[in-house]
Amino acid sequence: MRGFLYFFETIKGLFITGKHLLVNTFYHTLNYIFRIKTKRKGAVTYQYPEEKKPLYPRDRTLHRMMFREDGKPRCVGCMLCVTACPSDCIYVKAEEVDGEKVATKFIVNVNRCAFCGYCVEACPEDAIRMDSGKLDFVGYSTNEMILDLLKTK
Amino acid sequence: MTELLIATIKIIVLFAWLMLFALYATLLERKESAVIQDRHGANRASIFGISSFGIFQPFADALKMLFKEDFIPAFTDKRMFKFAPVITFFFSVLVIIAIPFGEPIKIGGKIISLQLINPDIALILIFALSSMSIYGVILGGWSSKNKYAFLGTMRATAQVISYEVALIFSILSLILVYSNMKLYDIVLFQKAYLWGWLPRWGIFIQPLAFVVFIIAAIAETKRAPFDLPESESEIIGFFVEYSGVRFGVYMLTDFIETIMLSLLVTVLFLGGWHIPFIERAHLSANWVKALEIIAFQVKTFLVFGFLLLVRWTFPRFRFDQLMELGWKTLVPISIFNLIITSIVVALL
């Protein structure tokens, strides 16, 4: 008897999935067969390599070095980021160029980086940022994941 | 000689139609489930950079199945193991011989019926054949000599046998109403109207039998929510040990059974190729015939889509719930329906 009462609920469930089917098929037809752009899409997923999911402004992605107008890096080699880093993945080498202390090497070991963003917060010169928008950085070996931020402008 | 030629052509066309439908049924299932769940579904298979919503996906799947290693474990009963998928496939395909696809057409003075055979016992033949296909499942699971395959087989056997009862009872009340077992004549019966406005379709004159039939038949095809013999998440199913082409045959058989079910539902309950009130439209007889053939295909397709919708809506039954639904709900309802129908038929 209880099963009999469930019968109506199952019909209701069929209506829910049927509604999804019809509505989504309608939008898919508009989008892909008639090539009409609609605000609402038939699917909530992203077709990844072609279509990337939009990032939020505060999302932390691959590190980026900021440069001054004359091309020199903003980093002055104060080592605050190296101190702040919990993963110990930043190595900075600074030299004196034209009477100024500038970084000549800024190596980030992405293998170890946890993307906590402490280095960005610690930097007094706003030299390192994590807003490059790159999420799909890959390599064949761990050596390829050790990046010199000064070389990859 | 021409008779033989016509029969051969009919068989080839039917088989090609069935195989194409079954091949694209796999794509349709993936697409429909994806669309229900707000996804895209398979759309990456491409030939020369043309993917067009995954139209080539079935061929990619078939190729993958063909090139996979056909592994037969050492502990199996090899002869039976190889033979089992063929049995299910053969008997589930064979059901199509009695299905009529439209009114007879006339080509060059020859009348060709769109049906392979039209025996007096078509309905009994169909259900005999379709229940034969369970032997392939039994043999496949048993000869695998695997605990999970064995469990799946036992479940399949118990389920199919118990649901066959309700299925046959619901069909019996239909036979009482149609007073005929020829599928062609059943469709002709449904081409009339009740009180001048309601098509005399099976779904309108036997609604209870329709509900029982469709539930029991989904259970017969062993698809969700009655997919206990397979139940991928607990036991992998009676085909655990199968791989490659043999597994592909089992999977294809699953779809062929579903296609047969939608064909049967169309013929028995949805008036076959009947389009209501088309005789009032003043079309020429040839146009009506052509439209009716299309209508039959459309109805079959819609029923198939509905079955997929059912498959992607409901979660799986527990085994005791399954048996309860079969023996305590469907069988009494179908017997009640049979009694009522026989009283009504006797009185009229």
Q: Which of B38, B321, B324 sits opposite A43 (nearest CB)?
A: B38
pLDDT at A153 over 60: no
Please report the pLDDT score of residue B62 as a whole number. Answer: 87
Domain assignment of residue A84, yes or no: yes
Instruction: Give a yes or no: residue A106 inside a domain.
Output: yes
Tell me, what's the pLDDT at B95?
87
User: Could you read off the pLDDT of B297-348 as tens digits, one per residue?
Assistant: 999 999 999 999 998 998 888 888 888 888 888 899 999 999 999 999 888 8
Is residue A1 predicted with pLDDT exceeding 70?
Answer: no
- The pLDDT of residue B278: 80
- Residue A50 domain-assigned? no
Give the span between the Cα atoms of B10 and B8, in whole angstroms: 5
Asked if B324 and A3 come within 8 Å (Cβ–Cβ), the reply is: yes
Residue B188's pLDDT band, with cuts at 50, 70 and 90, is confident
ipTM of the complex: 0.82
Chain A contact set for B313 (CB, 8 A): 10, 13-14, 16-17
Residue A11 shares a structural domain with residue A82? no
Q: Do B309 and A18 touch (CB under 8 A)?
A: yes
Query: Is the Cβ pair B35, A43 closer than 8 Å?
Result: yes
Number of H helices, E strands in chain B: 13, 4
User: Does residue A57 belong to any structural domain of this protein?
Assistant: no
Q: Do A19 and A76 belong together in one domain?
A: no
Residues A137 and A78 in one domain: yes
Please determine, for residue B88, whether its predicted confidence score (pLDDT) is greater than 80: yes
Q: Based on the fold, state whether residues A68 and A4 are members of the same structural domain.
A: no
- Residue B72 reports pLDDT greater than 80: yes
Q: Min CA distance, A109 vs chain B (Å)?
A: 35
Q: What per-residue confidence (pLDDT) applies to A3?
A: 61
Q: Do A45 and B39 touch (CB under 8 A)?
A: yes
Residues of B in contact with A18 (CB under 8 A): 309
The reply to whether A40 and A83 lie within a common domain is no
A144 and A70, same structural domain? Answer: yes
pLDDT 10s digits, A64-106: 899 988 888 898 989 999 999 999 999 999 888 888 888 888 9
Q: Is the pLDDT of residue A121 over 90?
A: yes
Instruction: Tell me which residues of chain A have a C-beta less than 8 Å from any C-beta of chain B.
Output: 3-4, 10, 13-14, 16-18, 20-21, 24-25, 28, 32, 42-45, 47
Interval A52-59 mean pLDDT? 88
For residues A122 and A89, state if they share a domain. yes
Kindly list the residues from chain A whose CB atom is less than 8 angstroms away from the CB atom of residue B38: 20, 24, 42-45
Closest partner residue to B314 (CB to CB) among A10, A21, A44 is A10
Determine what percent of chain B is predicted with pLDDT higher than 90: 15
Residues from chain A contacting residue B39 (CB–CB below 8 Å): 43-45
Q: Which residue of B has its CA nearest to A27?
A: B35
Best mutation target, B31, B32, B38, to test chain A (most A CBs within 10 A): B38
pLDDT above 80 for A5: no
**Number of inter-chain CB pairs under 8 A, A vs B:** 46
Query: Of the candidates B301, B280, B250, which has an alpha carbon nearest to the alpha carbon of residue B17?
Result: B301
Residue A82, CA distances (Å) to A78, A90, A119, A121 in order? 9, 6, 7, 12
Residues B96 and B288: their CA atoms lie apart, in Å, by: 24
Q: Give this prediction's pTM.
A: 0.86
Range of the domain at A36: 1-45
Give which of B252, B242, B261 is closest to B303, Cα–Cα. Answer: B261
- Comparing alpha-carbon positions, the chain A residue that sits nearest to B38 is A43
CATH code, A120: 3.30.70.3270
Residue B100 has pLDDT above 80, yes or no: yes
Dig out the tokens for B151 from the structure: 């469990």
- Tell me whether residue A55 is in a domain: no
| Same domain flag for A86 and A144 | yes
Q: Do B314 and A18 touch (CB under 8 A)?
A: no
Alpha-carbon gap, residue A60 to B102, rounded angstroms: 64
Question: In percent, how much of chain B has pLDDT > 70?
Answer: 100
The structural domain count of chain A equals 2
From chain A, the residues in CB contact with B314 under 8 A are 10, 13
Query: Does A130 lie in the same domain as A72?
Result: yes
Instruction: Give the mean pLDDT of chain B.
Output: 87
* Same domain (yes/no): A28, A68: no
SS (H, E, C) A59-85: CCCCCEECECCCCCECCCCCCHHHHHC
Q: What are the respective helix, strand and coil percentages of chain A, to the nearest 5?
A: 30, 20, 50
Length of chain A, in residues: 153
- Share the mean pLDDT of chain A: 87
How far is Cα B38 from Cα A7, in angstroms, rounded to an integer?
Answer: 25
